[in-house]
Amino acid sequence: MATGNKDAGSGWMPLMRDLRDYEGSWFSGDLMAGITVWAIVVPEAIAYASIAGMPPQTGLYAATVPLLLYAIFGSARRVTIGPSAAVAALSFATVAPFAAAGSEEFVTLTVLLALIVGVVLVVAGLAHMGVIADFLSEPVLKGFIVGVALTVAMGQAGKLFGFETEGDGFFAEVIDLIRQLPDLDVTTLAVGASSLVALFLLERLLPKFPSVLLVVIGSILAVKWLDLVDAGVHVVGDIPSGLPSLAIPSVSWSAVMALIPGAIGVAIVVYGESMALAKTFAARHRERVDADQELIALGAANAGGGLFGAFSVNASNARTAAGDAAGQRTQVSSLVVFGALVLTLLFLTPLFTNLPEAALGAIVIHAVARLINVRPIMALKSRNTVDFWAAVATLIGVLVFDVLAGLMIGVVVSLVGLMSRAVRPRIMWLGRDPRSGLFRDRNDEGVDVTEGISVVHFGAELFFANVGSFRETVLAEVDERHPKAVVIDAEAITDIDTTAADEILKLHDELESRNVVIAFARLPEPVRNGLELGGYDLEGRDFTHVDLAVEALSEH
């Protein structure tokens, strides 16, 4: 698998490649995968629309138009695009400060947000900014996903009890849920709890069976046969039939500008999650993924969805996994899903009128439950402290503040950790291992140190923020051990700025005044150029290997 370079012949529409090379034996797998994904996506799309604060039909719109556009432009053959809990929650958090949830203005701004997210992604793809996902590190993504899953689950929990929870943040909603418990509706709780139990049992007993669709059908029939609406059970109600129409949101320029910062955050999450999923399945099947093409495809999916009344979308882990398990080979499977969704919008939406909201809440909670796993976060503690705290900070930020704020907190913590490592990189003094002849940490057992020669390894580029600590470390070594020469193993110093070059020249002068020679080994060309342009004379001080430097200076 490779990322970042276009697959030869794929052009801007990789689907054409798949259709050109399509084999008839693949269709049965693509057909079965399409039917399987359709059975999952319809109820989930309706449920995720409520998370985004949007009417239920917009969930179906988000599952339809973006799916088709990604199938045409996406380079990943097995990824399924559509509404997801995390991005729906992020969309809601981004728009909520500007409009009341459920209002016409809220719907307009949510659609506009999807359009802006799409434009941001397409521009990033055309600018070859496939590395943008690197700003969303894996630890931050782990904490973000757990935080969003908990937030979404708590937001849906009230539906199982027959009421809506309110509160600014996860903990406020927990308190409100506890406060309202005396007012729970027993009938609604029975519907929600039985739906949730059925989902988990069917997942365990019949993992390949479309359990979500079965629960939806069962709960709709229960509402109808047992007259549960009269018993106080809330249902979805009428979902308008028909395909979405093309419309450009009518908003002011100030509204666009207000949404851009949040749209960039949504775009990073959309691409980060989607690209991680695409690479996972591409590696599994030894296929190729083009990072820049994925940006364009996801941008087209979001922008196209926004033009047809949908909210922001990304790759779906559960639906992609279900399609892959059912035999998906290409994006022809997504074309099957698209056709089934068109038929659903045209003819089948009346069937969901009596779908109980408690069952929808159960579907969402079941979908996000698998994401509430803190073990990968705890595992980071023993591997990298900065990564661990970045994940924890993101998780806590999502729960205490909101989804977007938590994400930004995690990114900031990661960047602070990165800066900390850059400013204070590992500086290691070396000695020779007599068994291998290689230079290693001189504190290791059995390592020999050449008398009068100190060898230092600096593990990062030299720049204004870290050259001071490097200089102080070298001077402390000279004060303590009084060597006649210091050799800088510069292999890992990939670059040097003007400030650092000037400081190294000053260090040279200071050591020379103490009759201490300073030399370099394995000096990269950019660093050599930077030193020479700064006036450093490297003649007789530049060696191709540490061995040669130590040998030459020992005879000095």
How far is it, in rounded angstroms, from Cα 373 to Cα 161? 25
370-405 confidence digits (pLDDT tens): 888 899 999 988 888 888 998 999 999 989 988 878
> Environment class of residue 342 by beta-carbon count within 10 Å: exposed (0-12), middle (13-18) or buried (19+)?
middle
- Choose the weakest-confidence range: 315-324, 334-343, 419-428: 419-428
* Residue 12 pLDDT greater than 80, yes or no: no
235-255 confidence digits (pLDDT tens): 999 999 999 999 888 888 999
Q: Which helix (H) or strand (E) holds 488?
A: strand 485-489
- For all residues of the chain together, what is the average pLDDT? 89
Q: Are 213 and 40 in contact (CB under 8 A)?
A: yes
306-329 confidence digits (pLDDT tens): 999 999 999 988 888 888 888 888
Residue 16: the pLDDT is: 84
Q: Which CATH number fits domain 427-554: 3.40.190.10, 3.30.43.10, 3.30.750.24, 3.40.1190.20?
A: 3.30.750.24
Residue 9: the pLDDT is: 39
How far is it, in rounded angstroms, from Cα 45 to Cα 319? 11
Residue 361: the pLDDT is: 92
Q: Which helix (H) or strand (E) holds 454?
A: strand 453-458
Top pLDDT among 434 and 178 is at: 178
How far is it, in rounded angstroms, from Cα 47 to Cα 192? 13
The residue-averaged pLDDT of 423-445 equals 84
How far is it, in rounded angstroms, from Cα 289 to Cα 279? 7
The domain locations on the chain are: 14-136+206-370, 427-554
67-107 confidence digits (pLDDT tens): 999 999 998 888 999 999 889 999 999 999 999 988 999 99
* Residue 343 pLDDT greater than 90, yes or no: yes
181-237 confidence digits (pLDDT tens): 998 999 999 999 999 999 999 988 888 777 888 999 999 999 999 999 999 899 999
Q: How confident is the model at residue 38 (pLDDT cuts 50, 70, 90)?
A: very high
Residue 266: the pLDDT is: 92
Other Cβ atoms within 10 Å of 235 Cβ, number: 20
- Choose the weakest-confidence range: 153-162, 437-446, 467-476, 477-486: 437-446
Report the DSSP beta bridge partners of residue 520.
Answer: 488, 542
Length of the chain equals 556
* Residue 2 pLDDT greater than 50, yes or no: no
- Supply the pTM of this predicted model: 0.78
User: Cα angle vertex 139, ends 136, 140, to 5°?
Assistant: 45
How far is it, in rounded angstroms, from Cα 296 to Cα 77? 15
* Residue 54 pLDDT greater than 80, yes or no: yes
How far is it, in rounded angstroms, from Cα 110 to Cα 92? 8
Q: How confident is the model at residue 169 (pLDDT cuts 50, 70, 90)?
A: confident
Per-residue burial over 387-409, b = 16 or more CB atoms within 10 Å of its CB, e = otherwise:
bbbbbbbbbbbbbbbbbbbbbbb
Percent of the chain with pLDDT over 90: 54
Residue 10: the pLDDT is: 52
Q: Which of 268-282, 339-353, 363-377 ranks highest by mean pLDDT? A: 339-353
Q: How confident is the model at residue 5 (pLDDT cuts 50, 70, 90)?
A: very low
Query: Which sign does the torsion angle of CA 123, 124, 127, 130 carry?
Result: negative
Q: How confident is the model at residue 6 (pLDDT cuts 50, 70, 90)?
A: very low
Other Cβ atoms within 10 Å of 382 Cβ, number: 8
* Residue 1 pLDDT greater than 70, yes or no: no
Residue 187: the pLDDT is: 94
Q: How confident is the model at residue 285 (pLDDT cuts 50, 70, 90)?
A: confident
Percent of the chain with pLDDT over 70: 97
β-pairing verdict for 81-82 and 314-315 = antiparallel
Q: Which residue do the tokens 């060696």 mark?
A: 543
Here the tokens at position 225 are 């046969």
Residue 222: the pLDDT is: 94
* Residue 3 pLDDT greater than 60, yes or no: no
Cβ-based neighbours of 429, under 8 Å, separated by 6 or more: 441, 442, 443, 454, 455, 456, 457, 477
Q: How confident is the model at residue 556 (pLDDT cuts 50, 70, 90)?
A: low
Other Cβ atoms within 10 Å of 493 Cβ, number: 24
DSSP string spanning 33-80?
HHHHHHHHHHHHHHHHHHHTT--HHHHHHHHHHHHHHHHHH-S-TT--
**Side chain identity at residue 402, one-letter code:** D
Task: Quote the DSSP letter at residue 496.
Answer: B
Top pLDDT among 419 and 28 is at: 28
* Residue 369 pLDDT greater than 50, yes or no: yes
Q: Which helix (H) or strand (E) holds 145?
A: helix 138-161
Q: Is residue 445 classed as helix, strand or coil in its secondary structure?
A: coil
The distance in angstroms from the start CA to the end CA of the chain is 52
